[in-house]
Structure 1
Amino acid sequence: MQIVKNSVVTLTYSLSDSKGNLLEESKEPISYLHGGYDNIFPVVEEKLQGMQPGDTLSVTLEPEDAFGEYDASLVRVEPRSVFPVTDIQVGMQFEGGAEGSDEMILYTVTDVSEDTVVVDGNHPLAGRTLHFSCTVTDVRPATPEEIAHGHVHGPHGHSH
């Protein structure tokens, strides 16, 4: 079966930086619902259209095609007293409101001092050119329930 709208695509992948350093690799196959459901990078989804099991894809993703440009305004210095835990460490993550917005975003602690905590709302790969490679391992029609929910159910996908 070829990859078309409303098909479930299963693949293995690797993600590298522009220098070829491996950043992430699937240990197990992953599955996503194909057809504009925002379950995979849109550029990758576009390139996978029409492929079938056994096909491979390699694509370079500019920041705007992956995790966006780095936005310095998403870096905030907060008083340590506003955090719900006392043992704050670099790498911890907290959900918080974006400055001047009702939108909630995930902030990562990047620095801790006696009185302040620096948090960054950018994705760790924001602003970076990435290389995405994958092999299609399976393609099947999506169930009506998967289409209605906008994501895959069962093995390699989401379960309720």
Structure 2
Amino acid sequence: MIAEKDKVVSITYELHVDDGENGKEFFERVDEAQPYAFLFGAGNILSKMEEAIAGRSVGDTFEVAIDFENGYGDYDESRKMIIPKSAFKENGQKQRHLMKVGNVVSMQDDQGNPLRGEILRIDYRGVLMDFNPPLAGYDLYFSGKIVGIRDADPSELEHGHAHEPGGHVH
């Protein structure tokens, strides 16, 4: 079986990143104990990564370099903004456990689209948050191995993503 549309592909990888100033640095490792599974052809991973895996079989290795423009884009200062502290209330109660520097918080924009932002600072003006993707501005260097390929279940095809073993998790 090969990595192609409508297959669930499981990979292990090591990711190094380069911000253009400090050289390549280790970022993360995904190992065989908990491989990353995705629905091939559903837009669940970066297109350049999918291209590097296409047509390969279990046991095959891959390496791919993805520049920031084809990865998560350039870092955008305008995606840093001050959010009123009142946005961190639920049922009239302040959610102090959320308002900590370094926390990544799920929010919604004016149209209800999901956003995730990191809290950078809290002061009298509000909560300074960064809504850039964590890898914005970085060139990415993946090296990995395909550890599993299977046909997608009908529910995975319907939902457009792989499900964890034993059921549906969102």
Pairwise TM-score range, normalised by the shorter structure: 0.7 to 0.9
Moved more, 140-149 or 67-76: 140-149
User: Do residues 30 (structure 1) and 36 (structure 2) align?
Assistant: yes
Q: Which residue of 2 aligns with 1:123?
A: 133
Q: Which residue of 2 aligns with 1:152?
A: 162
2:121 counterpart (111, 134, 159): 111
The question of whether the paired residues in 1 share the 8 Å contact of 2:52 and 2:63 is answered with no
Q: Which residue of 2 aligns with 1:142?
A: 152
Deviation at 1:143, TM superposition (A): 2.2
Deviation at 1:118, TM superposition (A): 1.0
Moved more, 136-145 or 87-96: 87-96
1:144 to 1:128, Cα distance in 2 relative to 1, 3 A:
same
Deviation at 1:132, TM superposition (A): 1.4
Helix, strand or coil for the counterpart of 1:43?
Answer: helix
Q: Distance between the aligned counterparts of 1:157 and 1:128, measured in 2?
A: 34
Cα deviations by residue, 1:117-152 (Å, 9 ceiling, x for unpaired): 211110121111111121001112222222122112
Q: Distance between the aligned counterparts of 1:50 and 1:61, measured in 2?
A: 19
The question of whether the paired residues in 1 share the 8 Å contact of 2:103 and 2:118 is answered with yes
Matches of residues 7-156 of structure 1 in structure 2 within 5 Å? Answer: 7-18=7-18, 19-27=23-31, 28-35=34-41, 37-84=42-89, 85-86=95-96, 88-98=99-109, 101-102=110-111, 103-155=113-165
Q: Distance between the aligned counterparts of 2:96 and 2:152, measured in 1?
A: 46
Deviation at 1:24, TM superposition (A): 1.1
Q: Distance between the aligned counterparts of 2:144 and 2:79, measured in 1?
A: 31
Q: Distance between the aligned counterparts of 2:161 and 2:35, measured in 1?
A: 16
Count of residue correspondences: 157
The question of whether the paired residues in 2 share the 8 Å contact of 1:31 and 1:157 is answered with no
TM-score by length of structure 1 reads 0.84
Tell me how large the CA RMSD over aligned residues is. Answer: 2.3
Q: Distance between the aligned counterparts of 2:96 and 2:154, measured in 1?
A: 47
Identity of aligned residues (%): 33
Q: Which residue of 2 aligns with 1:3?
A: 3
1:62 to 1:158, Cα distance in 2 relative to 1, 3 A:
farther
Structure 2 gap ranges (5+): 90-94
1:144 to 1:78, Cα distance in 2 relative to 1, 3 A:
closer
Deviation at 1:79, TM superposition (A): 4.1
Q: Distance between the aligned counterparts of 1:29 and 1:96, measured in 2?
A: 28
